[in-house]
Structure 1
Amino acid sequence: MHDPQPLPPSGQRGGYRYYDLVMVAFVAVYLCSNLIGPAKAAQVTLPVFGPLTFGAGVLFFPISYIFGDILTEVYGYARARRVIWAGFSAMAFASLMAAVVVHLPPAPEWRNQAAYEIAFGSTWRIVLASLTAFFCGEFVNSFVLAKMKILTRGRWLWTRTIGSTIVGEGVDSLLFYPLAFYDSGLIPNEILWKVMVSQFVAKVMVEVVFTPLTYKVVGALKRAEREDYYDVRTNFTPFSLKA
C-alpha cells in the first residue's frame, strides 16, 4: 500500500479550503430532504414500469450520502463524523422549532394554518424515526467507505461509493420505514415493505447516476486540499467530535 498521506495534510498547514463549504452543502441538502420533500407525494410515468409514486424527499436525501462519501474519501472518517453530527443537530433543532411554530396560536385573520400544518407538521414519531435512521445510516456509510478504501488501496472509487451507499441506505430504510409507519395507519402494513424497497432502490440509483460527478468532485478536492486520507489508525466511535 502506498503512503496513506503522501502529502502534508492541508489541515495541518492552516486549514482546509473547502471542508466548511462541503459541510454547509451537506447540512443544507439534509434539511431540504426532511423539510421540503416529505410534504409532497409525486408521481411520474416510466416506460415499461408505468406510474411510479414516491415522496419528493427521495430527490434530496441520496445527495446527502454522496456528500458523505466525498467527505470520508477526501477528509477521512473523523472529519465526516463532525459533519454528520452537524446535520443531525441542525435537523433536531429545525424539527423542534417547526413543532413550536406549528403549535403557536394563529392570528385570527390568518387563514393558512391547515396548509402550514401539512407542510411542517410532521409527527414526532416520523421525526424520531428520521433522526435515528439518518444517524445510523450515515455512520455506517462512512465506516464502510473508509474500510473499503483501505481494502482496495484507494483504487476503484466507484466500488466504495456505491457499496457504502447500498449498506448505509439499507440500514436507513430498514430503520426508518418500520419505525415511522408500522401500524401507523398512514401506510398499510402489507405494502410497507414494497414502499421501503422501492425507495431504497431509487436512492441507490441516484448514487449510481451521480458517480461520474462524484469522481470529478473527489478528484478536484484532493488536488485542491492536497489530501487523500486513509483511516488506518482512526477511532471509529460515532460518539466523538474529535477530528
Structure 2
Amino acid sequence: MNKASEKLITLSGLFVSVIVVSNIIAGKLINIGPFVITLSVLIYPLSFALSTIIFEIFGERIAKKVIYTGFLASLILAIVSYITILYPPSPIFENNDAYLTVFNATPRIILASFLAYYFAQIVNLWAFSFSKTVFRTENIYFRNIISMFLTQFVDSLIFVLVSFYGVYEWKEVVNMILSQYIIKLIFSALNSPIISLSVKRLKRDLVLEQ
C-alpha cells in the first residue's frame, strides 16, 4: 500500500468517525455564552475540514465517495438506533429508560443530519471549487472561509429546522439556527489554517514519495 492510500484511509476514517459521533451527541443542547447550540457543533465542523482536505488532495470524485460513506455510516446508526428502541431488554437490565431517552431522539436527529449533511457537504465542495475559479486564487484559507459562509448557513438551517421544529418555540428555533451558524463560522475560521497546512504537508509528502 502506497503512502497516498494510507493517508486517504486515515482521513476517511476520521471523517466517518466525526459524522457518527456528531449524530450521537447532537440531541444535547448546550450554551456557549448567549448561544444555544447542539453539542455536535463542537466537533461537526471538523468534517468539513476533512472533506475539504480530501477534495484538494485526491479530487472531487474521491471526496464525494467519502461523503457517501459517511452517509452510509449514518444510515447504519439510524437502523441500530431503531433496533435499540424496539428490542426488549433483559429483565435484569435496569437502565433501559436511559437508552430510550437517548435513542428515541436519534432517528429524527439522524434524519436532520442526513439532509443537512448531504446538502452542506455538496455545497462545501462546490463553493470551495467555485471560489477558486471566480477569485482566481489557490489560497486555501481564503477559499475555505468563502465556502463556509454559505455551507454553514445551509447546514444550520436544515439541521435545526428538521431536528427541533415543533419541539421548541419558534423563537428558540431561530435562536438555535443563528447560534449554530455563528459558532460554526468561528470554528471554520479556526480550522482554515489547519486545512492549509495539512494540504501543503500532504502534497509535499506525496511529491517526495513519487
Same fold (TM over 0.5): yes
Paired amino acid for 1:32: V
Does the alignment pair 1:120 with 2:103?
Answer: yes
Displacement of 1:152 after TM fit? 4.2
Q: Find out whether 1:212 has 2:201 as its counterpart.
A: no
Any idea what the Cα deviations from partners look like across 1:126-159, whole Å, max 9, x if unmatched? 3222101111110110111122234444522112
Tell me if 1:93 matches 2:76.
Answer: yes
Equivalent in the alignment of 1:42: 30
Which of 170, 192, 204 is equivalent to 1:189? 170
Alignment correspondent of 2:120? 137
Aligned residue-pair number: 208
Q: Summarize deviations over 1:49-85 as a string: whole Å, max 9, x none.
A: xx54432111111111111111112222111100000
The Cα shift of 1:119 comes to 2.3
Distance 1:18 1:64 in 2: 16
What's the counterpart of residue 15 of structure 2? 26
Question: Structure 2: how far apart are the matches of 1:28 and 1:153?
Answer: 34
Kept in 2: contact 1:43–1:54 (CA 8 A): yes
Cα distance in 2 for partners of 1:172, 1:43 equals: 19
SS at match of 2:91: coil
Q: Secondary structure at the match of 1:122?
A: helix
CA distance, structure 2, for counterparts of residue 39 and residue 196 of structure 1:
14
Q: 1: CA distance between counterparts of 2:118 and 2:148?
A: 14
- Alpha-carbon RMSD across the aligned residues, in angstroms, is 2.2
Whether contact under 8 Å (1:58, 1:202) holds in the other structure is yes
Q: Percent identity?
A: 27
- What secondary structure, in the 3-state scheme, does the structure 1 residue paired with 2:92 have? coil
Aligned residue runs from structure 1 range 38-187, under 5 A: 38-44=26-32, 46=33, 51-122=34-105, 124-182=107-165, 184=166, 186-187=167-168
TM-score using structure 2 length: 0.89
CA drift at 1:176: 1.9
SS of residue in 1 equivalent to 2:37? strand
Aligned mates of 1:18, 1:188 — CA distance in 2: 45
1:76 alignment partner AA: G
- Letter in structure 1 aligned against 2:194: L
The answer to whether the 8 A contact 1:137-1:172 is kept is yes
Matched residue of 1:16: which SS? helix
* Partners of 1:180 and 1:43 in 2: CA distance: 17
Structure 2 gaps, min length 5: none
Q: Which has the higher contact order (CA 8 A, sep 6+)?
A: 1
TM-score, scaled to structure 1:
0.78
Q: Structure 1: which 5+ residue stretches go unaligned?
A: 1-12, 228-243
